[in-house]
C-alpha cells in the first residue's frame, strides 16, 4: 500500500499545455476518481503516474519514493487500460501470467497465482481462450485479472467500464467497490461518468481544462462545489445557474428580487454580476414569488424534470415527484430553498462565494 502524490506537475505536448500545475495527494488505500470532461487531461495524469508519459516539470511520488525517473515496470503499479490492451496472441491465462513472467516468478507459483486471480474474477472456464473470443465484460475482467495477479501497491484504472453496456457497467461497478474493500489498495480511477465517480470513490478529483478544480469527497463536491464548473459538471440534471446582480440582501434576476442571506456568503460581495446557483431539487414550484412558465415536463417514472422559463427567457430546471400534475404552458410561481443557494463569480470557472461549513449540506430528503 502506498500513497500517491503529484506535486506541481505540469505536462506539455510541444507547445500545447495538457496539464497545468497539478497538486494531488492520494492517501494510502484510498479510492480516488479522476473526473472530468473529455480532453481535460485525465488519461495523461494516469499515464504519468504509470510512467508512460513524463511530466514536463514537477514531482510524482508513490509510497514516498519519487518516481519521475523510474520505469513503469519498476513502480509497482498495475494499470487497466480503457482499451483493455489484452495481448491478442496470448490466451487469457497467458495474459494474466505475463506480468508475473516478466518479474521472474517461478512457473509453479505463476500457475497458482493465475488460478487465484481467475477464480476471484470467475475466469476459470475462459483461461484457454484468446481475447477475441470473449465478450466485452469478460475482456474487462481479464484486464482486471492481469492487474490483480501481481498484488501491486497502486491500481491505475483508465475508464475501465466505458465500453460496457449499462447493465454490465453497474454490475462491474459493484464488483470493483467490493474488490477495493477486500484488497484495501490505493486505486486511481479515471472516468468521465460522474455516477461512477460519485458511487465508487472516497474522494473525487474534478478536472477541467488541464487544471484540478476540486478534490474532495463526493458529498462535498456535490454540496459545496468549488466553482461554477464543478457545480454544473456534478449532478444530473446539473445545477441551475442564473446570472444577476447582488443588491443588498437580494439577488436580482429577470426583474425580480430573490432574497438571499448575506451572512452565508463571503463579506466582500461587491456590486456587479454574479451567478446564483441552485440545484433542481431545491426549486419549488408553487412555493415562491418568481413568475415562470412551464416549458417541458419529463417524467422518468419516479420523478419529473420540469423545464421552466422566467419572464426574461432564462430557463431553469426543477425536480419534483412524479405524482404531481403539471401542464406545459402553465404559469407558476417558483421559489428556491433559501439554504440551498450558491453564489459564484461570473467567469466559467468562477469561484464559489459561500462561507463554507458542514451545515451548508442539506440532506436530499428535506426539500
Partner 1 sequence: MQSPLRTLILNLVTWTLVLLIAFPLLWMIITSVKPQTELFRIPPTWFPETITFEHYWRLLSETPFLTYFRNSVVLASTTTLFVVCLGTLGAYSLVRFRYRGRETLAMLVLFTYLLPSVVLIIPLYLMMVAIGLSNTLVSLILAHTTFALPYALWLLRSFMEGIPEDLESAALVDGASRMGAFRDIILPQLLPGIISTALFTFILSWNEYLYALVLVNSDSVAPLTTGVMSMLISTFNIEWSLLMAASVMMSLPLIIVFAFLQSYLTSGFGAGGVKG
Ligand X SMILES: Nc1ncnc2c1ncn2[C@@H]1O[C@H](COP(=O)(O)OP(=O)(O)OP(=O)(O)O)[C@@H](O)[C@H]1O
Binding test (CB under 8 A) with partner 1, winner from 25, 87, 178, 219? 87
279 binds ligand X (CB under 6 A): no
Candidate ranges 38-46, 89-97, 244-252, 286-294; the one touching Mg ion (CB under 5 A): 38-46
Candidate ranges 94-102, 185-193, 259-267, 311-319; the one touching partner 1 (CB under 8 A): 94-102
- Cα–Cα distance, 362 to 208 (Å, whole number): 26
Binding test (CB under 5 A) with Mg ion, winner from 43, 95, 194, 227? 43
Place of cell 465500453: 163
Candidate ranges 16-24, 61-69, 87-95, 265-273; the one touching partner 1 (CB under 8 A): 87-95
Contact 307, 296 (CB under 8 A): yes
156 to 195: interface string for ligand X, x by CB under 6 A: ------------------------------------x---
Place of cell 475482467: 141
Which residues, other chains included, contact 137 with Cβ-Cβ below 8 Å and sequence gap of 6+? 164, 168, 171, 172
Nearer to Mg ion, 13 or 364 (CB): 13
Helix axes 92-102, 136-148, angle to 10 degrees: 20
Query: Measured over all CA atoms, what is the biggest interatomic distance in the chain, rounded to whole angstroms?
Result: 77
Place of cell 503529484: 6
Q: Which of residues 14-33 bind ligand X (CB under 6 A)?
A: 16, 18
103 binds partner 1 (CB under 8 A): yes
Contact 225, 234 (CB under 8 A): yes
Binding test (CB under 8 A) with partner 1, winner from 36, 51, 55, 280? 51
Contact 49, 60 (CB under 8 A): yes
Residues that bind partner 1 (CB under 8 A): 47, 50-52, 71-74, 77-79, 81-83, 85, 87-89, 98-99, 102-103, 132, 146
Amino acid at each position: 500500500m502506498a500513497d500517491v502524490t503529484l506535486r506541481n506537475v505540469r505536462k506539455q505536448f510541444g507547445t500545447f499545455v495538457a496539464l497545468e500545475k497539478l497538486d494531488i495527494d492520494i492517501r494510502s488505500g484510498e479510492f480516488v476518481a479522476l473526473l472530468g470532461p473529455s480532453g481535460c487531461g485525465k488519461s495523461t495524469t494516469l499515464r504519468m503516474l504509470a510512467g508512460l508519459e513524463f511530466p514536463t516539470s514537477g514531482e510524482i511520488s508513490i509510497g514516498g519514493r519519487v518516481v519521475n525517473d523510474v520505469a513503469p515496470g519498476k513502480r509497482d503499479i498495475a494499470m487497466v487500460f480503457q482499451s483493455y490492451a489484452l495481448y491478442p496472441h496470448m490466451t487469457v491465462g497467458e495474459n494474466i501470467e505475463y506480468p508475473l513472467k516478466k518479474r521472474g516468478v517461478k512457473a509453479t507459483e505463476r500457475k497458482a497465482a493465475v488460478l487465484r486471480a481467475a477464480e476471484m474474477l470467475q475466469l476459470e472456464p475462459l483461461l484457454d481462450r484468446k481475447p477475441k473470443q470473449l465478450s466485452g465484460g469478460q475482456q474487462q475482467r481479464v484486464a482486471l485479472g492481469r492487474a490483480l495477479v501481481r498484488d501491486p501497491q497502486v491500481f491505475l484504472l483508465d475508464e475501465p467500464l466505458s465500453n460496457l453496456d449499462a447493465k454490465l457497467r453497474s454490475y462491474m461497478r459493484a464488483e470493483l467497490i467490493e474488490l477495493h474493500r477486500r484488497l484495501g489498495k490505493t486505486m486511481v480511477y479515471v472516468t468521465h461518468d460522474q455516477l461512477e465517480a460519485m458511487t465508487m470513490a472516497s474522494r473525487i478529483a474534478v478536472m477541467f481544462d488541464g487544471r484540478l478544480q476540486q478534490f474532495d469527497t463526493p458529498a462535498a463536491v456535490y454540496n459545496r462545489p468549488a466553482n461554477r464548473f464543478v457545480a454544473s459538471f456534478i449532478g444530473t440534471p446539473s445545477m441551475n445557474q442564473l446570472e444577476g446582480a447582488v443588491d443588498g440582501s437580494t439577488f436580482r434576476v429577470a426583474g425580480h428580487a430573490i432574497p438571499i442571506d448575506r451572512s452565508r456568503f463571503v463579506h466582500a460581495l461587491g456590486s456587479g454580476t454574479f451567478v446564483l446557483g441552485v440545484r433542481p431539487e431545491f426549486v419549488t414550484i408553487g412555493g415562491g414569488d418568481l413568475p415562470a412558465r412551464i416549458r417541458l415536463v419529463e417524467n422518468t417514472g419516479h420523478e419529473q424534470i420540469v423545464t421552466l422559463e422566467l419572464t426574461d427567457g432564462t430557463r431553469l430546471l426543477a425536480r419534483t415527484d412524479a405524482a404531481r400534475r403539471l401542464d406545459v404552458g402553465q404559469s407558476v410561481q417558483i421559489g428556491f430553498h433559501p439554504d440551498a443557494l450558491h453564489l459564484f463569480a461570473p467567469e466559467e470557472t468562477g469561484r464559489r462565494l459561500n462561507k463554507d461549513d458542514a451545515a451548508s449540506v442539506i440532506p436530499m430528503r428535506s426539500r
